[in-house]
Structure formats: C-alpha cells, structure tokens
A = this chain, B = another copy of it.
Amino acid sequence: MNQRELQRRETRRVLAEHALRLFSMNGFDETTVEEIAAAAGVSQRTFFLHFPTKSAAAFPDHEERVRDFIDRLGDGRLIGNPLLHLCQVLSSGLDTGSPTRRTRYQLLAQVGALRDEDARTDRDYEEVVAAFLIQAWGASVDARVRAHAIANAALGVCRASLIGWGEEGIDAREVCFEILHRMIGSPFDAPLHSLQ
C-alpha cells in the first residue's frame, strides 16, 4: 500500500466520519460542506475531490459495496435458480451489525436529501440486479423489462426493510427475505403470459 494511497484513504475516512457526525448532530441542511471540511482539517475544495456531492459523504463505501455485491451475486448464467439466489444475496447483504450503519439509516429515515441520495445509489444496484437477471434469462425485450421490474421491486423491498430498521429497530434481514421470497421466488416459476 502506497503512502499516498494511505493518506488519500485516511482523508476520505475522516471526511466521511465528520460528515455523518455533523449530519446527525446538527441536521443535514444545517451542515455546510465548509464545516465538514474544516472539521476534517482540509479545505472545502478537497472535500469535492473525495465526494461528488455533499450527500455522497453519507455513503462513503458505496462503490465498494456495489463491487462486493456484484461478486456475491456471481454470473447469472451459472446459477440454477437465479431468483432464489437473488433473494438470498440481497437479504444477506442487509448486515445490521455496525452502529455506523444504523446511524446512517436512522438519518435516512429523517432526511429527504439523503433518501434521494439513497435512491440514487440504489439505481446502481438496480442495474447490477437487472444485468444479472438478463444474463440468466437472455436479453429479449420481454426479459429485459421483466428484469428491470423485478430489480426495482426487490430493491424497493430491501430499502423499505432498511428504513424500517432505521426507524423502529426491526431486524431487516429476515422479513426482507421472507417478502422477497414470496414476491419473486415462487410466482415467477410459472412461464409468463400464463395468466388469464
């Protein structure tokens, strides 16, 4: 590991830490980027070298998590039951361990701008899930629409579970898996166009 790389990561970490602290202490709108940067001991300009927007600092590990998610999802062509696999990977990803993560989702439940940011980051997952299902099903128009619909739906369930967890402390993982399984597990075993 480079010394420069170390320095860069450290700055980023400290920025994210102070951002989350200030957001939950004083509120999102009441916190300026200038303040976050000052608290972290760097200039405002540096903040924007590390995060594209103010709200992105509340989700500093996003890219990393998406990469990790892609790894855990694997190749859709090689999986026997893609939808069940998807349910498992999605709900196992809702690790409710870290207190930082809890703070983040409590914030999320309150602050509109952060829910927006969350929706934005969810779009990345949505694309990954859709790509996975298209791998599994082929790229016909029908499959593509179906893949995006299911991806949106599945992530919607996860988001609701996580926000519920942030608001009320309900364990997200189990209920999420259960709902996902009901929703996308069995009904899509039947071929499409078989409904009257």
Per the 8 Å Cβ criterion, residues 123-165 of A in contact with B are: 123, 141-142, 144-146, 148-157, 159-161, 163-164
Give Cα A159–Cα B156 distance, bound, in whole angstroms.
Answer: 11
Complex CA–CA separation, A176 to B192 (angstroms): 12
Contact B178 A195 (CB under 8 A): yes
A interface, size bucket: 35 or more
Q: Would A187 and B182 count as touching, CB distance under 8 A?
A: yes
**In the complex, which residue of chain B has the Cβ closest to the Cβ of A190?**
B182
Asked if residues A145 and B116 are in contact (CB atoms below 8 Å), the reply is no
Give the contacting residue for A153; candidates B154, B186, B188; CB below 8 A: B154
Q: Which of B142, B160, B175, B195 contacts A182 (CB 8 A)?
A: B195
Point out the residues of chain B lying under 8 angstroms from A144, CB to CB.
Answer: 164
Name A116's contact: one of B120, B159, B186 (CB within 8 Å).
B120
CA distance A153 to B175 in the complex (A): 14
In the complex, the answer to whether B120 meets A149 with C-beta atoms within 8 Å is no
A148 touches B163 (CB 8 A): yes
Q: Which of B116, B150, B156 contacts A152 (CB 8 A)?
A: B156
Residues of A within 8 A of B (CB): 112, 115-116, 119-120, 123, 141-142, 144-146, 148-157, 159-161, 163-164, 168, 170, 175-176, 178-179, 181-188, 190, 192-193, 195
Q: Give 7 nearest A-B pairs by CB, closest first.
A: A152-B156, A153-B153, A182-B187, A119-B119, A148-B160, A156-B156, A149-B160
